Amino acid sequence: MYKNQKGASYLTILLGLIALAFVVKAVTAVWPSYWDDRVINDQIEEILTSSSSDITDDQIAKKMDQALYLNNIRDLKFDDIAQVSTENGIVVSKQYEVRVPFLLNIDLILTFEKSFDQRSVQSQ
């Protein structure tokens, strides 16, 4: 049918490059927030694993603020993103949002929620 078919046209290649650039932009905008959330989760689990059951809310918050500072997460404070309850064992409930500028006046809003119970973390 087509004797001289050569492959994709210039327009197809251009649209493919634009789509690739869009995906790369999205990944580079979102990845640091997901990485920071992973580090925060690891630090909470580490503190709950290594702490005794009679630790206070303030001591947990102080340890977490130090851990966040050491891991170069300086834009989040533990008291702003999590609540600690010590009524029935130590329970840390983390919930926060991160707004990431994406393109012109378009922002991406990332929501992170997770709850940690000292008994379940220590049993792992």
**50-67 pLDDT, tens per residue?**
888 788 889 999 999 999
Band of residue 1 on the pLDDT scale cut at 50, 70, 90: low
Band of residue 120 on the pLDDT scale cut at 50, 70, 90: confident
- What is the value of pTM for the model shown? 0.82
Beta strands in 72-117 (DSSP E): 82-85, 91-103, 106-117
